[in-house]
């Protein structure tokens, strides 16, 4: 529990120097050593100051020195036993004072002294601090007594424990003099003095240790301390250091985000920058330092050495540079993390660490480099002072070069950096205030640090961009061999070394866990349009015409950028050029890297109190809490992110101040406002630390009870969740026979195809068995007579034996598939041919050279057409586009005394048939062309391009199956993959005319999944077309809620998927509501309302006040621009909550008596709620005004639109009216209100009709509108003067999804649309231009309809 308490800025402050007895011995021996060099002394720990300095318990016992829990961990500690040596000349306490170094202390009380030899004192220090090695690190070059006072010097340390957790230290070495004489020693005024002796100086080191890498801030703090120490008496030294440490222990660490902390430590203002996000450490150092020391090519060599986990040694004559430069490179490789020993400063006693056989990153002084090279080998030496990178390897092996594209982009970016501060300020006058000058420099440094981080992140993204294409998330497999094959030959050496490293393995874990970090965000933003289109279509990997054309262009044109999209064009999308012109002179950061910067806010801490007084410390905490509260009241509704940071900081301070309930309240508000920075471990520790009376008080407050239960539930869920560090498998070919389930897993791991139904058909194809061999083409499962011989095929499952795929068959199939991919990469089409093809076309199949009716050449197949690549002088002759084919058949052409099989294709654009003598390839091409033809017809009829992509995959699988089996059964086996060609025979391909005219397009939100998922909810959010999308906004979006808490977003300008998915919980999502440009509310079955930021595509807010499934959301229009925006939510058990959108606070809540509340709408100040048993009109205070029960059963004799008697109606929520009357209608499913006509439209989940009611007088008879072939109404929306109704339909005895378009004035069905294979359960309108419909799991697609 204690380990999870908040930590302040400082963990400990340690004073290191020469022991008093050693100095005394040196002074006594001074006459004998005058002509010799002064010896080195062994540094020792002289003082240790570590929190807590004050506590409430000690305050009761000691009124003079009252203590409080400082802002630090109350953690497990170990004892540091310091041996005290016998001092004959003076008492030990006086001797210590004489050296200017008081005794060790960690509690603020005077140390226990003893005159007995060997007496000890027990000093309590934090458990993570190693005091044994610390003196050597504080004086890595040794402690030297000198005759001159040297300047103060600073250097920086990093400590790493066995778990990889790092602690940081800043050390200052400062000098004080010690006087001596030859004829005796006198102690006066805190010094050993003599009028005749030389003046000697000894160095003391003060090391401030922190859990956080605030190097600049801690150096500034030590600078302020030294100003006090130089003027203080020696007797006050210990108290000054102790007070200094106690003050820093009161400083809270700012939360991740844009809120920074500033405090005054006279005479300087100390600035603590916050982390950019939870995954990154704070950046409080100058990241441009390596760019001043090394050229871009050398920077890349160093990064390569780190990524390949070499034994890297930094060398410098300045101890401070070692840690700062090494830490910069740790930032450069983010989000990758160094997994090996990291010791940037090695003292002269620690040089044997370099003999370690493992990878490491260490640093040593330039004086020791010759000794290092003499004892060790195979090092990467990085000389910071000289700006060189070299290798000490005896075999002259060098580092591999960084991949070409990433290297060139990085070098160009670096050329555009302005890294000289003097050039920035040459236009400014001389400043007179040191804090103003420091703030000016800090602002410039923040700007250059941001640019450096973006450039290095882009480098890492460019290096590992294509890794995700070779990952299988379901089975946690990385296909490293195929990834290597996809790299350029010159880059493969680099990747071969990187792929086997621990650092890359950790990176892979994050990718397989689909971690949305800085790498993922930038990779998604900078994907080329070609790659987005390929991902959206799930097409097999082949180079398109644009990529082929780039092979002929200069290398500088290979880089691509994300292009903006225009208005939706749902007809035929034009290809997009993704080639970006670059300049070799100066490159500025492009739009993707110039992410919008949130304005930085600074919170200034109160003035420090006397830090060793409990009452003053408590007043300090109270003042800080009050200032935070005032800052929060000044925030507007748009500052929710900053509000979350204030809640975070105030919760921490309240926790430390002992106000646990107030801390829990702040963390509850933080959880509601920004879950990204919610400190779950801290809250669990806080809950565990509650006293019994505090727990009782917390249980009386519902919001705290919810927080406590959620914290425990989340903790239990984390323990039950699979280990994120699970082993990552590399794809390996199977070695045993594969049953169907094993075959599915192996195919998915290989990355060939993900769709389950396609894999099952492939399994059937590879398990075909031959009963009787023969010759000829076999295209049916029954006996076929060819050349007077009969060939019979039977499925292996028919004889009772279980089907299995032989591992050798799988290996042959996989090899042929990959060889086909490689052959496609090697296709080199002449420029004259490329001109006839579209940029996104790929050549997927190339025949051998054959004779055709258009000449001799090779037949090429793309996803759009067939064309002939003529021989001799290469030329292009188009055969046909797949959509123009009218007939495909096999014939035979006479050749001498033989008849050679030929393929004939009839096109609607040509009178004559195309004929090709394909010989042995004829049967395969016949199957492939027919499948592509059928897939194109299906795609055109259903406006679904995925049909074409699936047909293409089927055709390529046929090719691999035939090449794998190499037998007479091969063609029959391949025919099992002819899915669309078979569908053409079994199911009519023609779509009804009305449907075809209205349907514009189809998209698949489950493209990255192994099977279709139900489209539960759809929402269209308008955007500002033409506005730059750099801020994440711009284009309109279509939001789609899938099962298991997935939300997929599409760019509604191009219907391309924005990113794979945003995970919000793990339960089914029930409703979506666009509140404003910063908030998208999502209701879930787990009773939580999740809030997505549409710009950042992140979910970091949650509303947890509901106790059961959230079923409906609604937004009330504001009466004027000054009124508060109000939202309503309802849950299944009948609870309705009224929300203040700006504060996310509950304004009101009430509960309705009904059977499962399903949705809520706001009309003219009234709340209309739909339950299973009734429609309720409710006042804002929760009083039910009117209730519409279920309509009675419709008589079969009633004609369409006939008036029906009104059902039971009540004007108050009386018990007698809370349940529906006896009726065949089991439940309402949806309703709509029309203000213009004052009509209420309702639909039921199990009926084939709509009911239209008169809102003003619900006692009037209502109209029924019958929907033919409808099995139930599920959803409906109003578009212009039409009602679009999503239903569960019946067609030819099978359940299908249907949409009915009803005229609101005539109450007649205008259109009946059928384009979904499962029920339509989601509808939304895109600005009354399009209607989008989503279907259940059997179909799982979104249809886009034109509104007339």
Average pLDDT over residues 1081-1095: 90
Least confident of 315-324, 670-679, 971-980, 1058-1067: 1058-1067
- Tens-digit pLDDT profile for residues 315-363: 999 999 999 999 999 999 999 999 999 999 999 888 989 998 899 999 9
- In whole numbers, what is the pLDDT of the chain averaged over residues? 80
**Is residue 181 within 8 Å of residue 197, measured between CB atoms?**
yes
Q: What was the pLDDT predicted at 107?
A: 42
Tens of pLDDT along 689-708? Answer: 889 999 999 989 888 888 88
Whether 789 has a pLDDT exceeding 70, the answer reads: no
Choose the weakest-confidence range: 436-440, 710-714, 862-866, 1169-1173. Answer: 710-714
pLDDT digits (tens, 9 = 90+) for 289-324: 999 999 999 999 999 999 999 999 999 999 999 999
* pLDDT above 80 (res 58): no
**pLDDT at 194 (0 to 100):** 47
Token representation of residue 782: 């029954």
Q: Which of 130-134, 969-973, 1039-1043, 1271-1275 bottoms out in mean pLDDT, i.e. has the lowest?
A: 130-134
> Per residue in 538-551, pLDDT tens?
556 666 656 655 55
pLDDT at 553 over 70: no
**Comparison of pLDDT for 398 and 214, the residue scoring more:** 214
pLDDT band at 1018 (very low <50, low <70, confident <90, very high): very high
Predicted local confidence at residue 1177, as pLDDT? 92
| End-to-end Cα separation, the chain, in angstroms | 65
Q: What is the pLDDT of residue 953?
A: 93
Higher pLDDT among residues 56 and 334, named by residue: 334
Cα separation of 713 and 657, whole Å? 27
Question: What phi and psi, each to the nearest 5 degrees, are found at residue 179?
Answer: -100, 145
Q: How confident is the model at residue 1311 (pLDDT cuts 50, 70, 90)?
A: very high
Instruction: Indicate whether 613 pLDDT > 50.
Output: yes
pLDDT surpassing 80 at residue 865: yes
What is the Cα–Cα distance from 1220 to 407, expressed in whole angstroms? 71
Q: How far apart are CA 51 and CA 830, in angstroms?
A: 75
Helix, strand or coil for residue 409? helix
| Whether residue 99 has pLDDT greater than 90 | no
pLDDT of 77 higher than 80: no
Judged against a pLDDT cut of 70, whether residue 954 lies above it is answered with yes
C-alpha dist (Å) from residue 250 to 61, 69, 501, 607, 652? 23, 9, 41, 11, 11
Residue 1238 has pLDDT above 90, yes or no: no
> What tens digit of pLDDT does each residue of 473-517 get?
888 889 888 899 889 999 999 999 999 999 999 999 998 888 888
In the predicted structure, residue 1174 carries a pLDDT above the cut 60? yes
Over residues 556-562, the mean pLDDT reads 37
Alpha carbons 480 and 500: distance in angstroms, whole number? 10
Rounded average pLDDT over 10-17: 92
- Look at residue 597 in the predicted model and tell me its pLDDT: 62
Q: Give the residue-averaged pLDDT of 126-134.
A: 75
pLDDT at residue 235, as a whole number: 76
Calculate mean pLDDT across residues 443-447.
Answer: 92
| 8 Å CB contact between 1309 and 963 | no
The pLDDT of residue 5: 56
Sheet holding 1037-1041, edge to edge: 1017-1021, 1037-1041, 1046-1051, 1056-1063
Mean pLDDT score, 967-981: 90
| Other CB atoms within 10 A of residue 1334 CB | 29
Residues 6+ apart with CB under 8 A from 883: 936, 937, 940
Range of weakest confidence among 20-29, 251-260, 795-804, 1336-1345: 795-804
* 3-state SS assignment for residue 962: helix
- The better pLDDT of the pair 1207, 1190 is held by 1190
Q: Is the pLDDT of residue 989 over 80?
A: no
User: 851 φ, ψ to 5°?
Assistant: -90, 130
Per-residue confidence band for 1007, with pLDDT thresholds at 50, 70 and 90 = confident
What pLDDT is recorded for position 591? 45
pLDDT at 586 exceeding the cut of 90: no
Distance CA 50, CA 377 (A): 41
Which segment of 404-418, 648-662, 1200-1214 scores lowest on mean pLDDT?
1200-1214
Residue 541: predicted pLDDT:
63
Say what the pLDDT of residue 567 is.
Answer: 33
Q: Is the pLDDT of residue 93 over 50?
A: no
Please answer whether residues 1039 and 1080 qualify as being in contact, where contact means their C-beta atoms are separated by less than 8 angstroms: yes
Q: What is the pTM of this model?
A: 0.82
For residue 706, what pLDDT is reported?
Answer: 84
Quick check: 78 pLDDT over 80? no
Largest CA distance in the chain: 131
Q: Which pLDDT score, from 0 to 100, does residue 119 have?
A: 37
Mean pLDDT of 401-405: 93
Indicate whether 555 pLDDT > 80: no
Q: What is the pLDDT of residues 899-947, one digit of tens each?
A: 788 899 999 998 899 999 988 899 999 999 999 999 999 888 888 888 8
Strands (E), 23-76: 40-41, 44-49
What's the pLDDT score for residue 1226? 78
Which segments within 258-299 are labelled E, that is strand? 259-265, 268-272
Comparison of pLDDT for 101 and 697, the residue scoring more: 697
Yes or no: say if 363 and 383 are a contact pair by the CB < 8 Å rule: no
Segment (H or E) for 1335 = strand 1330-1335
Buried b / exposed e along 856-891 (16+ C-beta atoms within 10 A): ebbbbbbbbbbbbbbeeeebbebbbbbebbeebeee
- Contact 1264/1202 with Cβ under 8 angstroms? yes
Distance CA 1002, CA 1005 (A): 10
Q: Is the pLDDT of residue 129 over 50?
A: yes
Q: What percentage of the chain has pLDDT greater than the value 90?
A: 41
Highest mean pLDDT among 195-199, 424-428, 1125-1129: 1125-1129
pLDDT digits (tens, 9 = 90+) for 1112-1157: 999 988 767 777 889 999 999 999 999 988 888 899 999 999 989 9
Please, what is the Cα angle at 636 between 635 and 638, to 5 degrees?
A: 120
- Strand-pairing partners, residue 895, are 898
According to DSSP, residue 253 is labeled P
Q: pLDDT category, 1195, cuts 50, 70, 90?
A: low
Among 385-399, 715-729, 841-855, whose mean pLDDT is lowest? Answer: 715-729
Residue scoring higher pLDDT (672 or 1273): 1273
């Amino acid at each position: 529990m204690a380990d999870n308490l908040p930590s302040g800025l400082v963990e400990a402050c340690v004073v290191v120097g020469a022991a008093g007895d050693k100095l005394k011995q040196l002074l006594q021996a001074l006459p004998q050593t005058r002509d010799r060099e002064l010896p080195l002394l062994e540094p020792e720990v002289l003082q240790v100051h570590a929190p807590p300095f004050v506590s409430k318990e000690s305050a009761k016992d000691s009124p003079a020195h009252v203590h409080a829990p400082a802002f630090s961990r109350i953690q497990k500690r170990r004892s540091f036993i310091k041996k005290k040596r016998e001092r004959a000349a003076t008492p030990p306490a006086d001797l210590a004072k004489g050296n200017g170094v008081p005794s060790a202390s960690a509690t603020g009380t005077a140390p226990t002294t003893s005159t007995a030899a060997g007496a000890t004192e027990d000093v309590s220090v934090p458990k993570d601090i190693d005091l044994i090695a610390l003196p050597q690190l504080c004086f890595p070059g040794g402690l030297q007594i000198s005759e001159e006072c040297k300047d103060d010097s600073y250097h920086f340390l990093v400590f790493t424990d066995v778990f990889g957790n790092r602690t940081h230290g800043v050390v200052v070495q400062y000098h004080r003099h010690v006087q001596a004489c030859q004829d005796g020693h006198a102690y006066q005024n805190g010094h050993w003095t003599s009028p005749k002796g030389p003046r000697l100086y000894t160095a003391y080191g003060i090391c401030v240790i922190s859990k956080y890498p605030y190097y600049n801030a801690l150096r500034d703090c030590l600078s302020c301390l030294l100003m006090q120490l130089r003027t203080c008496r020696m007797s006050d030294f210990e108290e000054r250091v102790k007070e200094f440490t106690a003050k820093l222990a009161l400083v809270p660490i700012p939360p991740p985000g844009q809120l920074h902390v500033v405090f005054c430590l006279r005479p300087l203002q100390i600035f603590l920058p916050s982390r950019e996000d939870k995954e990154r450490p704070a950046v409080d150092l100058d990241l441009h330092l390596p760019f001043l020391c090394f050229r871009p090519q050398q920077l890349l060599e160093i990064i390569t050495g780190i990524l390949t986990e070499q034994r890297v040694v930094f060398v410098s004559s300045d101890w401070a540079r070692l840690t700062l430069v090494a830490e910069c490179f740790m930032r450069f490789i983010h989000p990758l993390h160094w997994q090996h020993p990291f010791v940037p400063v090695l003292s002269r006693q620690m040089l044997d660490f370099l003999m370690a056989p493992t990878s490491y990153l260490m640093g040593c002084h330039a004086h020791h480099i010759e000794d290092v090279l003499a004892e060790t080998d195979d090092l990467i030496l990085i000389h910071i002072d000289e700006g060189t990178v070299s290798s000490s390897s005896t075999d002259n092996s060098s580092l591999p070069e960084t991949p070409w594209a990433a290297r060139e982009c990085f070098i160009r970016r670096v050329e555009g950096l302005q890294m000289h501060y003097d050039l920035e300020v040459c236009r400014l006058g001389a400043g007179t205030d040191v804090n103003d000058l420091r703030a000016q420099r800090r602002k410039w440094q923040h700007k250059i640090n941001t640019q450096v981080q973006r450039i290095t992140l882009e480098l890492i993204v460019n290096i590992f961009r294509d890794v995700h294409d070779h990952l299988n998330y379901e089975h946690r497999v990385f296909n490293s061999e195929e990834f290597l094959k996809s790299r350029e030959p010159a880059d493969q050496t680099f990747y071969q070394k990187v792929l086997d490293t621990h650092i890359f393995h950790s990176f892979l874990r994050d990718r397989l866990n689909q971690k949305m970090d800085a790498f993922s965000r930038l990779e998604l933003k900078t994907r080329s349009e070609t790659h987005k289109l390929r991902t959206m279509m799930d097409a097999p990997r082949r180079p398109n015409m644009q990529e082929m054309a780039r092979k002929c262009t200069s290398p500088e044109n290979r880089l691509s950028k994300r292009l903006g999209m225009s208005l939706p064009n749902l007809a035929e999308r034009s290809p997009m050029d993704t080639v970006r012109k670059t300049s070799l002179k100066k490159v500025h950061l492009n739009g993707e890297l110039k992410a919008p910067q949130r304005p930085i806010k600074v919170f200034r801490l109160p003035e420090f109190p006397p830090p060793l007084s409990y009452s003053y410390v408590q007043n300090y905490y109270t003042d800080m809490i009050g200032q935070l509260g005032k800052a929060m009241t000044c925030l507007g509704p748009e500052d929710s992110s900053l509000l979350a940071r204030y809640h975070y900081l105030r919760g921490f301070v309240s926790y430390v101040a002992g106000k646990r309930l107030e801390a829990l309240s702040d963390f509850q508000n933080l959880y509601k406002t920004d879950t990204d920075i919610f400190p779950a471990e801290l809250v669990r520790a806080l809950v565990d630390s509650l006293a019994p009376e505090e727990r009782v008080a917390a249980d009386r407050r519902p919001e705290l009870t919810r927080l406590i239960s959620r914290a425990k539930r989340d903790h239990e869920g984390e323990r039950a969740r699979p280990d994120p560090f699970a082993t990552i498998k590399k794809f390996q070919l199977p070695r045993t026979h594969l049953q169907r389930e094993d075959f599915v897993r192996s195919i998915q791991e290989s990355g060939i195809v993900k769709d389950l139904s396609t894999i099952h058909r492939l399994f059937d194809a590879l398990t075909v068995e031959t009963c009787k061999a023969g010759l000829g083409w076999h295209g049916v499962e029954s006996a076929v007579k060819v050349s007077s011989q009969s060939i019979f095929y039977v499925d292996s499952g028919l004889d009772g034996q279980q089907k299995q795929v032989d591992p050798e068959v799988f290996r042959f199939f996989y090899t042929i598939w990959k060889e086909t991919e490689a052959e496609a990469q090697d296709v080199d089409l002449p420029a004259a041919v490329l001109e006839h093809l579209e940029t996104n076309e790929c050549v997927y199949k190339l025949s051998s050279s054959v004779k055709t009716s258009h000449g001799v050449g090779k037949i090429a197949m793309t996803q759009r057409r067939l064309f002939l690549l003529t021989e001799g002088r290469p030329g292009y002759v188009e055969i046909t586009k797949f959509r123009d084919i009218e007939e495909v058949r096999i014939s035979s052409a006479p050749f001498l005394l033989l008849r050679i099989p030929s393929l004939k294709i009839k096109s609607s654009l040509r009178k004559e048939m195309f004929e090709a003598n394909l010989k042995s390839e004829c049967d395969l091409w016949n199957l492939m062309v027919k499948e592509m033809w059928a897939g194109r017809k299906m795609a055109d009829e259903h406006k679904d391009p995925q049909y074409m992509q699936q047909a293409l995959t089927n055709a390529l699988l046929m090719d691999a199956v035939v090449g794998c089996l190499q037998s007479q059964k091969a063609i029959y086996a391949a025919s099992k993959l002819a899915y669309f060609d078979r569908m053409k025979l079994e199911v009519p391909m023609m779509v009804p005319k009305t449907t075809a005219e209205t349907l514009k397009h189809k998209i698949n939100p489950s493209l990255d999944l192994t099977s279709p998922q139900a489209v539960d909810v759809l929402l269209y959010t308008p955007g500002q077309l033409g506005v730059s999308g750099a801020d994440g906004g711009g284009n309109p979006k279509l939001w789609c809620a899938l099962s298991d808490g997935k939300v997929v977003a599409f760019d509604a300008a191009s219907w391309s998927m924005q990113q794979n998915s945003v995970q919000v919980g793990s339960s089914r999502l029930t409703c979506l509501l666009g509140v404003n440009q910063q908030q998208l509310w999502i209701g879930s079955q787990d009773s939580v309302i999740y809030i997505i930021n549409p710009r950042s595509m992140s979910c970091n807010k949650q509303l947890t006040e509901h106790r059961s499934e959230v079923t409906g959301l609604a937004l009330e229009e504001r009466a004027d621009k000054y009124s508060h925006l109000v939202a309503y939510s309802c849950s299944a058990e009948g609870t309705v909550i009224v929300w203040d959108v700006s504060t996310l606070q509950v304004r009101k809540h009430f509960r309705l008596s009904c059977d499962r509340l399903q949705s809520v709408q706001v009309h003219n100040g009234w709340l209309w709620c739909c339950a299973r048993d009734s429609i309720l009109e409710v006042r804002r205070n929760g009083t039910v005004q009117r209730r519409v029960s279920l309509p009675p059963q419709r008589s079969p004799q009633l004609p369409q639109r006939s008036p029906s008697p009104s059902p039971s109606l009540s004007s108050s929520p009386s018990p007698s009216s809370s349940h529906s009357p006896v009726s065949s209608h089991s439940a309402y499913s949806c309703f709509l209100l029309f203000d213009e006509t004052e009509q209420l439209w309702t639909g039921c989940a199990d009926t084939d009709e709509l009911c239209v009611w008169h809102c003003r007088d619900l006692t009037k008879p209502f109209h029924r509108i019958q929907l033919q072939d409808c099995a139930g109404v599920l959803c409906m929306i109003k578009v212009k003067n039409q009602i679009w109704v999503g239903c569960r339909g019946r067609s030819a005895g099978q359940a299908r999804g249907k949409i009915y378009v009803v005229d609101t004035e005539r109450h007649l069905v205008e259109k009946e649309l059928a384009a979904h294979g499962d029920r339509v359960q989601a509808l939304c309108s895109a600005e009354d231009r399009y209607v989008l419909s989503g279907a259940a799991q059997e179909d799982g697609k979104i249809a886009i309809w034109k509104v007339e």
